[in-house]
């Protein structure tokens, strides 16, 4: 799947706005309620999107792929 940033700044920021709106009501997953060996779930600090990583992750991801691309381009608000 291509990142929204490939279609320009305005398009990417509009997609970001829609993700933020959608993720306000998204059901959050409590990692402590999962079985051992389950993937870990974290919220993106940019948009609230669910970031899923293996249980043996080394560093906690703070941004999803879309928000990281926006940050790298200096477009993240």
Q: Are 73 and 5 in contact (CB under 8 A)?
A: yes
What is the mean predicted confidence (pLDDT) over 26-30? 93
Asked whether the predicted pLDDT for residue 10 surpasses 80, the reply is yes
Task: Write down the pTM of the prediction.
Answer: 0.86
Name residue 42's beta-bridge partners.
Answer: 51
pLDDT of residue 69: 96
Q: DSSP character for 29? A: P
User: Which pLDDT band, with edges at 50, 70 and 90, does 13 fall under?
Assistant: very high
pLDDT of residue 19: 96
Q: What is the token pair recorded at 49?
A: 């999107």
> From the CB of residue 44, how many other CB atoms can be counted at a distance below 10 Å?
20
Q: Are 40 and 54 in contact (CB under 8 A)?
A: yes
Q: Are 26 and 48 in contact (CB under 8 A)?
A: yes
């Amino acid at each position: 799947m291509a990142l929204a940033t490939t279609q320009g700044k305005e398009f990417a920021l509009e997609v970001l706005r829609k993700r933020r709106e959608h993720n306000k009501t998204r059901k959050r997953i409590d990692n402590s309620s999962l079985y051992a060996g389950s993937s870990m779930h974290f919220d993106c600090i940019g948009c609230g999107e669910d970031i899923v990583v293996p249980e043996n992750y080394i560093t906690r991801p703070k941004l999803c792929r879309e928000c990281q691309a926006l940050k790298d381009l200096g477009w993240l608000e």
